[in-house]
Amino acid sequence: MDEDSGLHYAHTPVMHREVVEFIAGIARCEGDTVVDCTLGEGGHSELILGGFPDFRVIAFERDPEILEIAVKRLEAFGDRLTVINDNFANMGERLKGMEGRVRCVLYDFGISSFHLDRSGRGFSFRGDEPLDMRLDPRLETDAARIVNTAREKELTDIIHGYGEERWARRIARRIVERRGAGPIKTTGELAELVLRAIPARYHARNIHPATRVFQALRIAVNDELSAIGASLGDAVRLLACGGRVIAISFHSLEDRLVKDAFRRMAAGCSCREEPRYCRCEGPPLVRLITRKPLIPGEDEMAANRRSRSARMRVCERIGGEPSSISA
């Protein structure tokens, strides 16, 4: 809780000790700017601005509503904070001219507890809210449009591809059948449908059966994975020598994108071929600080259930030709 304002923030910053330690461990780096790609309610940025008085933060956030909360929370830091209400996929363009001057780029992917618990935009299957799921209100397609208009095959691909849900085909068929009686309008209706579509003996004990379907729809609505793919190369291009990218993922699709991009850049690869076909012989651009992803400590997982799926990877800029990076 923020003692001064009386505000209770919904979100607890994940792996905050590790974030601070990895930033503190950056040696011999000329940049004094940290780019927080996923500001949310501003938890990580607050720790960075409070813990490193010589640094400034440039923060991206797609959602104007949560951005307003963060701006209020961080107003005491004055012009040390610059916020950009945009997708971090546009970071290369928005931060043109800053190449080689940034000390750290931080990603904390996905959505905030604010979205799940307070936004009223249908990110959670626990309540009964309109099926929206847009992080940015300017997006044209919301979750209701996908659920009520996508063809069965398209629904199957979304649920399978972005939710890794083995019952995707069956769930998609049930959605299409149910649409015959009128549109599916709320999260409660969708969660109930999914619950019934998956045979009870296959219901996981520790997660709600609709978890993967909701994750899949959210990723599709916000085109989340393309943004990650588009931005990791730009992040490294911005770093000063010795600067670091810290990426916190919450499911295997995000983590795979980070792992592959970091490995390519560590191998000096600037093409998009699969590693076995790659013939690039460029100099390595980064050094992997974490070969395997780090997970939160037991105490953090016990105190913050939502941290349990977090995976952190870190790489460090070591040189090379910035313009040749493509992750």
Ligand X SMILES: C[S@@+](CC[C@H](N)C(=O)[O-])C[C@H]1O[C@@H](n2cnc3c(N)ncnc32)[C@H](O)[C@@H]1O
Q: Provide, rounded to whole angstroms, the least separation between the CB of residue 179 and ligand X.
A: 29
* Shortest Å, Cβ 49 to ligand X: 12
Q: How many residues belong to the chain?
A: 327
Find the binding residues for ligand X in span 19-38 (CB under 6 A): 38
301/318 with CB nearer ligand X = 301
Nearer to ligand X, 172 or 247 (CB): 247
Cβ atoms of 80 and 57 within 8 Å: the answer is yes
Bridge partners of residue 315, in order along the sequence: 245, 288
**SS3 letters across the chain:** CCCCCCCCCCCCCCCHHHHHHHHHCCCCCCCCEEEECCCCCCHHHHHHHHHCCCCEEEEECCCHHHHHHHHHHCHHHHHHEEEECCCHHHHHHHCCCCCCCEEEEEEECCCCHHHHHCCCCCCCCCCCCECCCCCCCCCCCCHHHHHHHCCHHHHHHHHHHHHCCCCHHHHHHHHHHHHCCCCCCEHHHHHHHHHHHCCHHHCCCCCCCCHHHHHHHHHHHHCHHHHHHHHHHHHHHHEEEEEEEEEEECCHHHHHHHHHHHHHHHCCCCCCCCCCCCCCCCCCCEEECCCCCECCCHHHHHHCHHHHHCEEEEEEECCCCHHHCCC
Closest approach of Cβ 321 to ligand X, in Å? Answer: 27
Tell me the closest approach of the beta carbon of residue 62 to ligand X, in angstroms: 4
Site for ligand X in 125-154 (CB under 6 A): 135
Counting residues that bind ligand X (by CB under 6 A) gives 23
| Per CB under 6 A, 124 contacts ligand X | no
For the CB of residue 18, give the shortest distance to ligand X in the complex, in Å: 13
What does the per-residue mask of binding to ligand X show for 38-67, with x meaning CB under 6 A? x-xxxxx---------------xxxx--x-
Instruction: Name the residue nearer to ligand X (CB basis): 178 or 237.
Output: 237
Residue span 207-226 as binding mask against ligand X, x where in contact by CB under 6 A, dash where not: -----------------x--
Distance in Å, CB of 168 to ligand X, minimum: 23
- Binder among 95, 111, 159, 246 for ligand X (CB under 6 A): 111
314: closest CA among 220, 232, 197? Answer: 232
Residue with tokens 């393309």: 226
- Cα diameter, the chain: 64
Please identify, using beta-carbon distances, which residue of 38 and 124 lies nearer to ligand X. 38
- Using CB under 6 A, which of 58, 74, 112, 316 touches ligand X? 112
Return the number of the residue (141 or 148) whose C-beta is nearest ligand X: 141
Choose one: 110-118, 191-199, 210-218, 308-316; the region binding ligand X (CB under 6 A): 110-118
Enumerate residues 87-106 that contact ligand X by CB under 6 A. Answer: 87-89
Taking the complex as a whole, how short is the minimal distance between the CB of residue 222 and ligand X, in angstroms? 7
To the nearest whole angstrom, how small is the minimum distance from the Cβ of residue 183 to ligand X? 26
Residues at the interface with ligand X (CB under 6 A): 11, 13, 38, 40-44, 60-63, 66, 87-89, 108, 110-112, 135, 224, 227
